[in-house]
Chains A and B, each alone.
Chain A
Amino acid sequence: MTLNAILISVFEDGLFAAIAAIGFSSISNTPRRAYFTCGLIAAIGHSIRYVLTLPDCTGMHIILASGMSSFAIGVLAVLLASRIKCPAEVCFFPALLPMIPGMYAYRTIEALLSCLYYSQEETFAYYFHQLAYNGLTCTFIVLSMVVGATIPVFLFKKLSFTATR
């Protein structure tokens, strides 16, 4: 992959993550003044994960990459929350949503139902493997995301809880 292609992919990834974050934040009645910040943080966080998981860059495992990018999202949310006079959660919750491993969750359900559908040992073993792999990956991505984003709020407690001051 050339540098140009990587940059375009990173930009595209960030753009769609920002749109997703703004859209999903509207479900939770986020104040309009927070839309831009949510989108920006989501774009940066998702791009970091995209770059970290690229085989041409670090090729990091998605669980670790999700944890690291969520930590970045948490730090940015704590720093930027006071500018828009909103609690840090208002910024980092919507920013995390585009990183939710939806396809892993979907494949987990797919594998679960296939396990119930196919009774032959070989086919069942295949889908059971898929169920365990996708289920565990999905669970640990979500855990690493939430813990990664919550640690900055925990570390910079004073800053986090005075954002609306």
Chain B
Amino acid sequence: MYPEMPKMITPMMNNTDDAADNANLHLTAAFLADYASLLLGCGATCIRTEKNTRRMAGALGYGFDITILPTHVYVWIWRADVARRYMAVRKTAACGISFHLNALLSRLSWEVADNHLDFPTAVRRFKSICDTPPTGKLEVLLLTSLANASFCRLFGGDVIAMLIVFFSTLLGYKLKQIMLEEGCDVRFTFLCASFFSATFSAGGHIFGIGNTPEIALGTSVLYLIPGVPYMNAVSDVLYRHYLCAFSRFIDAAILTACLSAGLCAGMLILGMKWF
């Protein structure tokens, strides 16, 4: 799930005089690249990734630079007294958004900077963070369903609409969990989950249950809106990381298009006159 360490390191200018020093630079570059890759993958903004990694490199006694691209991260480190630079490149970790990991990794960077953790301890802490389990699936399923039902209420839905939204979210989100576990494409998963939720909640519209069936139908797919990538995109724009901002925005827009398509397909199959 998370990157293993260390992997590929490319020495830019090779000097074999000091093998131990070279090895340290190799390992540190690999560690920092893995750290940055995981932090980006778990949904941190570019500015946070840059600041945290720079903080750790500084505390470990190295000069540092980073290039963040939409799917890769390049880390460069060097010693002030030696004209040698080392680069490590990693693909952004595909671990899904996790604020828990984000918080733990940010804390690790401060521990390295403030408590002067030595390199092996920092690596050990990092590996234990990589093994952090995600929130329980049942807990997420129930909380998300409750959240979407509350969302329906905020938009003016009645109690029956809230119940419809609760169950349609429960079914749609469960389908999303199963499909992602099976390794299905995330866009196809969003389309299917949206279709499933919309079809279920359209029952209120078709059978005339409750006074606000259109709100139930409209709200039933909103749990799929990728809010975090949209907000990260704006944050990246503010800090002039335009490439990553654009990439995050397009990713989120494609997922939004998929959930809209699922909603429309549900309407079409049920023979509803669109809306």
Q: Which A positions have Cβ atoms within 8 angstroms of B?
A: 13, 16-17, 19-31, 34, 46, 85-87, 89-90, 93, 96-98, 100, 102-103, 105-107, 109-110, 113-114, 117, 142-143, 146-147, 149-150, 153-154, 161-165
B102 on the A face (CB < 8 A)? yes
**A32–chain B nearest beta-carbon distance, Å:** 8
A146 to B228 CA separation, bound complex (whole angstroms): 10
19 A–B contacts, CB within 8 A, in A order: A23-B144, A23-B147, A23-B150, A27-B144, A30-B135, A87-B44, A102-B155, A102-B219, A103-B215, A106-B219, A110-B274, A114-B274, A146-B231, A146-B235, A149-B231, A153-B235, A164-B103, A164-B109, A165-B114
A26–B223 CB distance below 8 A: no
- Per-position contact with A for B136-161: 1 when CB-CB < 8 Å, else 0? 00011001111110110111000000
B143–A110 CB distance below 8 A: no
- Who on chain A is nearest to B225 by CB? A100
Binds A, one of B1-9, B16-24, B66-74, B92-100: B92-100
B147–A29 CB distance below 8 A: no
Contact flag A87-B43 (CB < 8 Å), given A100-B227, A106-B218, A161-B48: no
Q: How many A-B residue pairs have CB under 8 A?
A: 147
The residue that A24 contacts in the complex, of B98, B139, B147, with Cβ under 8 A, is B147
The B interface, classified by DSSP as helix, strand, loop or mixed, is helix
A117–B99 CB distance below 8 A: no
B222–A85 CB distance below 8 A: no
Contact flag A164-B230 (CB < 8 Å), given A16-B153, A22-B147, A150-B238: no
**A39–chain B nearest beta-carbon distance, Å:** 10
Q: How large is the interface on B (under 10, 10 to 19, 20 to 34, 35 or more residues)?
A: 35 or more
Q: Which B positions have Cβ atoms within 8 angstroms of A?
A: 43-45, 48, 51, 96-103, 106-107, 109-110, 114, 134-135, 139-140, 143-148, 150-151, 153-155, 215, 218-219, 222-223, 225, 227-228, 230-231, 234-235, 238, 260, 263-264, 274-275
Tell me which residues across on chain B come within 8 A of A22, comparing CB atoms.
143, 147
A107 to B43 CA separation, bound complex (whole angstroms): 29
Would you list the 9 A-B pairs with minimal beta carbon distance, nearest first?
A23-B147, A106-B218, A29-B98, A164-B106, A16-B150, A146-B234, A19-B150, A23-B143, A110-B275
B146–A23 CB distance below 8 A: yes
The residue that A16 contacts in the complex, of B45, B48, B99, B154, with Cβ under 8 A, is B154
User: Given A85-B103, A89-B102, 4 other A-B contacts at CB below 8 A?
Assistant: A26-B147, A28-B97, A98-B151, A161-B51
**B162–chain A nearest beta-carbon distance, Å:** 9
- For B96, B99, B151, the residue with the greatest tally of chain A CB atoms inside 10 Å of its CB is B99
The residue that A20 contacts in the complex, of B45, B103, B147, with Cβ under 8 A, is B147
A29–B218 CB distance below 8 A: no
Tell me which residues across on chain B come within 8 A of A27, comparing CB atoms.
97, 140, 144, 223
A85 to B106 CA separation, bound complex (whole angstroms): 9
A70 to B103 CA separation, bound complex (whole angstroms): 22
- For A22, A93, A98, the residue with the greatest tally of chain B CB atoms inside 10 Å of its CB is A93
Tell me which residues across on chain B come within 8 A of A16, comparing CB atoms.
150-151, 153-154
A29–B107 CB distance below 8 A: no
- Who on chain B is nearest to A146 by CB? B234
Tell me which residues across on chain B come within 8 A of A21, comparing CB atoms.
147
- Who on chain B is nearest to A161 by CB? B51
Tell me which residues across on chain A come within 8 A of B146, comparing CB atoms.
19, 23
- Who on chain A is nearest to B264 by CB? A113
The residue that A17 contacts in the complex, of B102, B154, B230, B235, with Cβ under 8 A, is B154
**A61–chain B nearest beta-carbon distance, Å:** 18
A97 to B97 CA separation, bound complex (whole angstroms): 15
- Who on chain A is nearest to B256 by CB? A105
Tell me which residues across on chain B come within 8 A of A89, comparing CB atoms.
44-45, 48, 99, 102, 231, 235
- For A13, A27, A90, A109, the residue with the greatest tally of chain B CB atoms inside 10 Å of its CB is A27
A13 to B134 CA separation, bound complex (whole angstroms): 30
